[in-house]
Homo-oligomer: A and B are copies of this chain.
């Protein structure tokens, strides 16, 4: 469930979606002053084309397998693995299997 304005002290569900994944979409979990967290949902074969985000990012794979291309290199990210990206890094994401990931962004103001 989307919680775009989760307040401090609010419990946010970031558990694997499991069988529900196929019907889910990417959602913002919360956006604060310096941090934004979203749950990226990509069904197998779907991709985010190469793009840039101003702030530093972590991508934490919750379930499934993601391929993150970064600087021409491919990084396979499995459940429980995390990748750090510098601000402005051009990156693309492809789901090798149905996958969800927590994406944390350091917001630039």
Contact = CB atoms under 8 A, between A and B. Distances in A.
Contact of A86 (B8, B56, B87): B8
Contact of A13 (B10, B73, B80): B80
A81 interface: yes
| Copies held by the complex | 2
Interface stretch (A19-27, A28-36, A42-50): A28-36
Contacts of A81: 11-15
A14 B89 contact: no
A104 interface: yes
Given A8-B70, A11-B75, A86-B8, A56 B32 contact: yes
Which among A55, A56, A82 has the highest number of chain B CB atoms within 10 Å?
A82
B80 A16 contact: yes
Given A16-B80, A80-B14, A104-B58, A87 B9 contact: no
Contacts of A86: 8, 32-33
